Structure 1
């Protein structure tokens, strides 16, 4: 059974400088950062500047800012820890009309690898989870059209989208000591999409 945890919510987009974490957060040993933004994700020439900027702020800039705060706290206390970022299968596969989204998620994967190199000497592990479409309310809204869903499902060997629990279980594993030798990794939760 996992220990009790709190899930604070912060809106980090597009703030001129990092907002402080809520006071309830306090010292922590592990962090999982999840929020995706795909608005304005049309490919050139249809990409919208404002939507692309928001995607950059939410999908990448906020990751950098929150991770800096958490890593500095861990280092100052001399505490080991684990940071898990939520990326996407779209970081590793080009998807039409998703140029900004794919680009920011690809950048997040590389940021995770660099952070793993830089924070490893401080005993801080950094990984990403790269899910397929997840059946959150947003996933259901965006993929409820059977014709649209079929195009993606046909590329997933298991023939289904992920449930929230599939992603949460992977995050909990990466935050736990059971993954103590895993850092700099992008872990797919995609039903085999990236294997095709």
Structure 2
């Protein structure tokens, strides 16, 4: 009998770009990728936070560097990726939320959220894919969306719309770039304890709503996402593309 070979979760020899890496889910994903063996470029606007994280990763023996990046500034982002790439792995966690009743949405808030969450994500993914195709390399491109890309939520019409949009272009890009062996996927978390979600948990009625919807009975932690990103970045998910990996504690099981 010849037993099957377990695909490797190792990322040795691969370069990863993590956008939104200064805190929260992005930082957690950068750490996970680095510890799995990737050489990780941590990118965000807050360079001081990036340099602090890079120093700690290097102290662990990981390979990491920092890169100033505002994903909503598309020309600068495209230029930066072209100059520093190609990257074998993209993890985009850059995001913005301005929650409120749909009847009160302003054009300014709408434009700010879609500019980063949707438009910025689109062109960042495109830029990394261009570098891979020009180099003739395969790759794994991952955008952090949300369980709200699968359902709706109170006071989240614009946010939900952007995340639905990212999951839509993910499917289309996966179809187009499959022949180049470039995989494109999303990770869709439930509410995770981060700086971004603090305002939600500060409102007792919203905190109760969240806890009631999560079937496993607890709010997520950054660590809950770290295994998912290593899986999608590695050969362990070699046949996975055009999909969204829900890490939602059963929220969408209804």
**TM-score, structure 1 length as denominator?**
0.92
- Which residue does the alignment assign to 1:37? 96
Distance in 2 between residues matched to 1:160 and 1:124, nearest whole Å: 35
The C-alpha deviation readout for 1:165-188, integer Å capped at 9, x for no partner, is 111221111011110010011110
Q: Output aligned runs, 1:103-122, within 5 Å.
A: 103-122=161-180
Pairing 1:184–2:237 present: no
Give structure 2 stretches of 5+ with no counterpart.
Answer: 1-34, 45-68
Give the Cα separation in 2 of the matches to 1:172 and 1:6: 15
In 1, the alpha carbon distance for the partners of 2:168 and 2:76 equals 21
Q: Does 1:101 align with 2:101?
A: no
SS at match of 1:84: strand
Counterpart for residue 137 of structure 2: 79
C-alpha displacement at 1:22, in angstroms?
Answer: 6.3
Contact between 1:90 and 1:105, CA under 8 Å: does it hold in 2? yes
TM-superposed CA distance for 1:155, in Å, is: 0.9
Whether contact under 8 Å (1:161, 1:190) holds in the other structure is: no
Q: Deviations over 1:5-38 (max 9, x none)?
A: 221222122x364533268843211101112211
Secondary structure in 2 matching 1:170: helix
1:39-188 equivalences under 5 Å are 39=98, 41-188=99-246
1:8–1:25 Cα contact (<8 Å) kept = no
1:8 to 2:43 alignment: yes
Q: Within 2, Cα distance between the matches of 1:176 and 1:103?
A: 29
User: C-alpha distance in 1, partners of 2:150/2:200?
Assistant: 20
Structure 1 partner of 2:4: none
- In structure 2, distance between residues paired with 1:57 and 1:26: 23
Q: TM (normalized to structure 2)?
A: 0.72
Q: How many residues align?
A: 194
What is the distance in 2 between the residues matched to 1:11 and 1:86? 16
Superposed CA offset, 1:130-171 (max 9, x none)? 001111122234323333211111011101111111112211
- Say which SS state the counterpart of residue 69 (structure 1) adopts: helix
